[in-house]
Homo-oligomer: A and B are copies of this chain.
Amino acid sequence: MNHEKIFNCPIEAPISLIGGKYKAIILFYLINQTLRFNELQKFIPQATPKMLTQQLRELEGEGLITRTVYPVVPPKTEYSLTEFGESLIPIVDALCDWGKNYIGNGCSGLRATPS
């Protein structure tokens, strides 16, 4: 026996991964760019440090992002998408496309664009 979750419907799987309050938003900002903790904080000011840390650790535990700590002073930590995390980009893009139509603006300039 294993401990994998059983899903009745395939959309439950991605929802269980990125259903956290800020997880999809974090992934959005990490597309095509590596960010430090305080950069993420500026992009997502409504998340307290506690929440941001919590969601980042969960994403890391799920294998969707990497966390790289540089042993320097002052501390420096960088977050970026793993390949597995990148597999979710179509979902994030679909959310973003719909959102842009709905609220009539984009995140242009906030998120790095592909070359």
Q: How many copies does the complex hold?
A: 2
Other-chain residue from B11, B19, B107 in contact with A9 (beta carbon distance below 8 A) = B107
Check A25–B10 contact: CB distance below 8 A: no
The size of the chain A interface, using a CB distance under 8 A, is: 38
Check B96–A94 contact: CB distance below 8 A: no
CA A95 to CA B19, docked complex, whole Å? 11
Stretch of A49-57, A66-74, A75-83, A97-105 that contacts chain B: A97-105
Interface of A (DSSP majority class): helix
A15 contacts across to B, CB distance below 8 A: 24-25, 95
A90 contacts chain B at the CB level, 8 A cutoff: yes
Interface positions of A (Cβ within 8 A of B): 7-15, 19, 24-25, 28-29, 43-46, 87-88, 90-103, 105-107, 110
